[in-house]
Structure 1
């Protein structure tokens, strides 16, 4: 009996922010996977180890969480004044699909570093010492991200003393600028798709909730923690082991997606798990983070907890942080009210692993709010590089 041998594909395993993913250069992928379609999706699922009914990813590179079941493709940019095109795929854990509907802000950090590692940035633009501005075209959402990557001896500097809550060890700081992060693109929406800073969101089986529906960084649905029975201090174990709670959050997410025009029927939400995000907010208060560290109310402006791919995130998604910073900058949103209700250009929020600061520049443009830039700091590091192997008939 003959067996199909494994094939090996050049790949790099990287941490970016509080996420991890498998990075590929487009040119290194098998020919059938260099274009969007079933072959690419099947390859990425096999690389990660999905779908996995055991939800463990034992037979793949994934880590069985939304933060670690990710693949990235980079190529020289097709856009003027950009260095690279960055395409992100969120691989479902127990279902057979890859969600291409949004970006990963955490891995945007690693995309900037990988672009230099992989030889995709013009060497003339890389200083011997200093900072390289990597101009990234985020192909999923058609937006520009500028990654300020530290360089030492002409190479990406990865070690340093920048500490990021949710990441065990310090590393070099990479500053990200998300330019024009509000959604005015292909899905036709404004930053506030309903035109309201706060909506009355009718959720079947739950009732009517106040919600801020915003598309900035990533489409997101914000609700008040106390209105759904939470304190805003919860950690993963408080929610992820409760199927009823997760079902309620999914119901809220689906109602928000329908109201934002992201889906036409509730059934479509099953194939759009990555977006929108669902998060709950409350005013600042003391709590104990997952590391055991006590976060004091005086250290933060508000508390935020967010779900990704149906589970409470262990820290905060980078794109959701952009949405938080943007909403906090606009007086009258639920996020802004939880932070005290005043105009602000930056906010520090508490999440399950600690705190994070994000800045946003918001201004009125006629009847619309417009955000020109959101800024935050993350870090990235190559964990392993070489080849990833998959069975030859996997794609």
Structure 2
């Protein structure tokens, strides 16, 4: 059998928030992968090292977690009033598919720096020192994101003293604004209710807040599943039955939200919706060993991504948290004290995070005008990723 040399694809490996991903310029992808479809998916799967029945992604760039099995494609924006188009692909670890159904809020923080470093922002807009606003079109969900990227000596500032729980080292702060983040056509609450009764056969009936902001998310009370809200990854991820229960609830939530028609479709839509448990403030020890005092947080949230409890918090789920917290009557708002608010500090397995949201109400309809959070981003490696020529 004749074996062809590997092909080289220009790529940048970046951390954004508490995630990592492989970033590509669209026009530097192989021609067959510059359009959506099988060739693109096969390329990204091979880059990351999926599908891997061992769930280790040893033969690729993935890190065998939902936070590190990610790809991003950036191009000059086709929208006249935006700078760049940002397409996110969540690569399944053990299955042969790429989920294009949602955004990655964490990697959103890396899009602006990547765009500047790759010459997609006009030089005249980049100060010697200051902030560049990069207007991003999030192509998966057709929404606007504005990244406020710090510049020092004419270059993207990556190093700084901003600390983000879930990330070991400090870096420069990148503020990210999610404009009108309700998913779809503005249906913030797809069922029309702040709280629904979610019936899950053979498991139970749960109060649930189902919201489309940042990413579709199903919130249920931690106590309804026997949890306290202080759990760390091992408490849930080492419990196969618990993971199956969460996945079943997520599937029924997806149907009720109108994202799928039948629960069997959930297996091919792992990225959305997210499922999270919510509880009132309690003191707990984070995964780093840091003690999070009850009076330092408004609410506790534990969220699952791609079938496992996340080590910190997905950026898009943080948008959903901020939105739900801002609207009186949701489970998140009730757990946080039940008052009107424009920001919330929540506890997650790695520590805490403060996020903000601007909510407004017209008649009986709520909307979120903007959600705001601070992240950081850093280039880890630049060069070429190699893939076998017969990949696609």
In the superposition, the TM-score normalised over structure 1's length comes to 0.98
What is the aligned partner in structure 1 of residue 169 from structure 2?
Answer: 169
Q: Does 1:291 align with 2:288?
A: yes
Cα separation, 1, equivalents of 2:145 and 2:84: 10
- SS in structure 2 at match of 1:393: helix
What is the aligned partner in structure 1 of residue 328 from structure 2?
Answer: 331
What is the aligned partner in structure 2 of residue 195 from structure 1?
Answer: 192
Q: Does 1:137 align with 2:134?
A: no
1:11-22 to 2 correspondences below 5 Å = 11-22=11-22
Give the C-alpha shift of residue 2 in structure 1.
Answer: 1.7
Give the C-alpha shift of residue 183 in structure 1.
Answer: 2.2
1:315 pairs with one of 297, 312, 321: 312
Number of residue pairs matched by the alignment: 392
Cα separation, 1, equivalents of 2:310 and 2:201: 24
What is the aligned partner in structure 2 of residue 55 from structure 1?
Answer: 55
- What stretches of structure 1 move > 3 A for 4+ residues in a row? none
Give the C-alpha shift of residue 367 in structure 1.
Answer: 1.8
What is the aligned partner in structure 2 of residue 393 from structure 1?
Answer: 390
- Structure 2 runs not aligned, ≥5 long: none
Cα separation, 1, equivalents of 2:275 and 2:144: 24
Cα separation, 1, equivalents of 2:168 and 2:359: 33
Render the CA deviation track for 1:235-256: whole Å, top value 9, x for unaligned. Answer: 0000111110000000110111
Q: Does 1:7 align with 2:7?
A: yes
CA contact (8 A) 2:141 2:184 kept: no
CA contact (8 A) 1:45 1:98 kept: yes
CA contact (8 A) 1:204 1:251 kept: no
What is the aligned partner in structure 1 of residue 30 from structure 2?
Answer: 30
1:341 pairs with one of 328, 338, 342: 338
What is the aligned partner in structure 2 of residue 81 from structure 1?
Answer: 81
Render the CA deviation track for 1:325-346: whole Å, top value 9, x for unaligned. Answer: 0000000000000000000000
* Higher deviation after alignment, 201-210 or 68-77: 201-210
Give the C-alpha shift of residue 184 in structure 1.
Answer: 4.0
Cα separation, 1, equivalents of 2:317 and 2:2: 48
Cα separation, 1, equivalents of 2:5 and 2:335: 56
Cα separation, 1, equivalents of 2:77 and 2:122: 11
- Structure 1 runs not aligned, ≥5 long: none
Coordinate RMSD, CA, aligned? 0.7
